[in-house]
Every structure is written in structure tokens, then in C-alpha cells.
Amino acid sequence: MERAAVVAAALVAVLVSVLAPAATAQMDSCSGELPPSLVGNYSGLACQPVWNNFVLRYHQDKNNVLRVVLSTMYSTGWVGMGFSRDGLMVGSSAMVGWMGRKGLPHIRQFALRGKSGSKKDVAVDRGFLVSNDHDHTVVVSQAKIFVAFQLRFPYRLSHQHIILAFGSGIPVNNKLSKHQDKTSFTFDFTTGKTFADGAFPYALRRAHGGLNLFAWGILMPIGAILARYFRRMDPLWFYLHVGIQFVGFIIGLAGVVAGVALYNKIQADIPAHRGLGIFVLFLGILQVLAFFLRPNTDSKYRKYWNWYHHWAGRLTLFFAAVNIVLGIHVGGNHSSWQIGYGFNLAILLVAVIALEFMLWTRWSKDSAPTPTY
């Protein structure tokens, strides 16, 4: 029994000695300082361990310029970070850094067009990443390599497919040797969270954006246009207005539910978007309640109800439009969303301007009051 106790204690001691340093290394992987040569241009970066000994430091400014310092243990060879549109290596662009045989730093962009490893499939100085070569550098310090670069994106980067890889061979004439190991994942540049490829809820994010855009950005503006400009179609305009706004509210509510589910999954820290969404939903609920609390047309309170209903509706549509634009921006959606919603806004604005002009023209000729509902 005593011998068994001694053996068990020894095993526990070995496990503690092995596992504790690993845990400490994981916790301290972001605590080390950057080499002095990187402090000027790459200070103030967020830090996140992402894979094995790889640590990603990053910051994205208001001009959508992404500063990155990728670091890992290093003796020789190359280290690369790829940006992919679909999570696949083929079709991605990568920033690759290494120290040459003469001790000179190298960092180049490669377009990954195939898997053969030839210069045609791994083309140097090609790719879709927009960068400034003077802002790139590679530093080796304390057995670690730091690959630092800056990229400019056309939109704010949020959930991005990332590929990390390294090889033991030093590139000759900018030809990369086959990688020893690689990984791919989705990185959230707004929260610092890492998702295994296929784990990020893209469908839920599309549902949240699509439902809210259709409800608050299309249906409800159409319902408001009917109420203001088509009252001569009495009482058809009233039933269409109520029906469209009610359907829009239900769809918008579904979009909010999708947003709550999305937040619970990714814990995205976007207080402005979330706060505006809550405010718009609150105004929408007040508009629904106002319908059931509508006083009679001959009531002395009717004019106050009209004033409240009209201006609360305008505020709802305005802040909904602002939040849709903000959601497209922080969601990192591609230009198709921006173009689509921009085209929708343009049509609505042109229609409102034309109908408003026609309304004022009709009012100037006909001073008869329109029925109030």
C-alpha cells in the first residue's frame, strides 16, 4: 500500500510538472513584449493565442487598416497567414515571412492558386490583399519569429477565414517549400474569438440581417408611404397600412430573435448595434400598442395621438435605417449587401420626394381635409 501511494504521488508530480508549464505558457503567451523594432508601428494591439504556439496580435482602425503581428517559435523555415473567402486554401492570399540564409528578413504576399507548390500555383507578389510593402517586417527574437504587416480592406473585417501554416525549408527565389503543418479556422476580429471552420453560424447571421432588412428597411417604409400619400384610396390605404406594418413587425421580431440567438453563440461586443436594435424594437412595440389604444376621430385626444403616432413612426424608420447600415458594416458583409440596401434606399427616397411634391401640389389646389384613422 505504501509503495502504491508513493507511485501515485510520483505520477501526480509528473503530471503537474508537465501540464502546469503548458497551461502557464498558454496563459503567458500574450504577456511577452514585442521586439523594440516593432513597438512604434505595432503597439496597442489586441492579443489572442490561436493555434499551438501561434499568437495573433491585431488591430483594425476606422479606415479598415488591419495591423497584424503573427508570432511563433522559430528556428528556420517560413511562417504564413492566409486570408480566404471560403475557408479553402486554393483561392486565398497569404502573407509569408522568413529569415533568409544571410540573416535578412523577407515578407511577401502569395496567391495560392493550386496545390502543386509550383510558382504558378503559389505565385509571389500576387493576391487580393491590399498592402503597403514599407509597413511589413520580420523580426526574430528569443527563438520567436514575428511577422508584422498591415492590410487595407474595403470593409470592416469581422469574421474572417484564416489559414496558418509553416514550413521548415528556407524559400529560395521566393519558392515556398511544402508546409509541415497547417490549420484553418474563422477568426472574429471584433471579439477575438476563434471558431473551427463550419462552426460559425453564418446562416443565423444571414437570417438576422435578411429578416431585419426586409422588415424594417422595406416593408415598413412602404407601409408608411401608403399612409401618407395614398389616403384618397379610402379605406383601402388604411387596411394596407395596418396589414403591411403588422407583417413587417412580426418579421422584424423574428429577426430580433435571430439576433439574440446569434449573440448567445458568438458574444459579439457591438453595443451600438445592439442598443439601436433594442430602441427600434421598443418604438415598434409602442406603435403596435398605439393601434389598439387609438381614440375615436372626434376625441379631443385624437390630435395628440396623431402627433405621437406619426413622429414615433418616423423615428422608428430613421433609426432602423441607421442600424441596418451599421449592421452591414460591423457584420463585414460583402458589397452585395451594401449595393442592395443602397439601391433600396435610393428607390424609397426618390419615391418619397416625388410623392411629397405631388402631395403639396394637390394640397395647394385642394384644401379639403382627408379622413383620419
Strand 137-141, strand 130-131: pairing: unpaired
Rounded CA-CA distance 245/319 in Å is 16
Q: How many CB atoms lie within 10 A of CB 150?
A: 20
Is position 329 annotated in a ligand binding site? Answer: no
Give, in order, the Cα–Cα distances in Å from 314 to each of 106, 273, 299, 311.
Answer: 57, 19, 24, 5
310 in a known ligand binding site: no
First to last CA, the chain: 90
Q: What does the alpha-carbon distance between residue 291 and residue 269 come to, in Å, rounded to a whole number?
A: 35
**φ, ψ at 111 (rounded to 5°):** -95, 120
Nearest to 158 by CA among 47, 41, 266: 266
Q: How far apart are CA 45 and CA 49, in angstroms?
A: 13
The reply, when asked if residue 134 is annotated as ligand binding, is no
Q: Does 334 appear as a known binding residue?
A: no
User: Which residues participate in the annotated binding site for heme b?
Assistant: 208, 241, 273, 309
Known binding residues: 208, 241, 273, 309
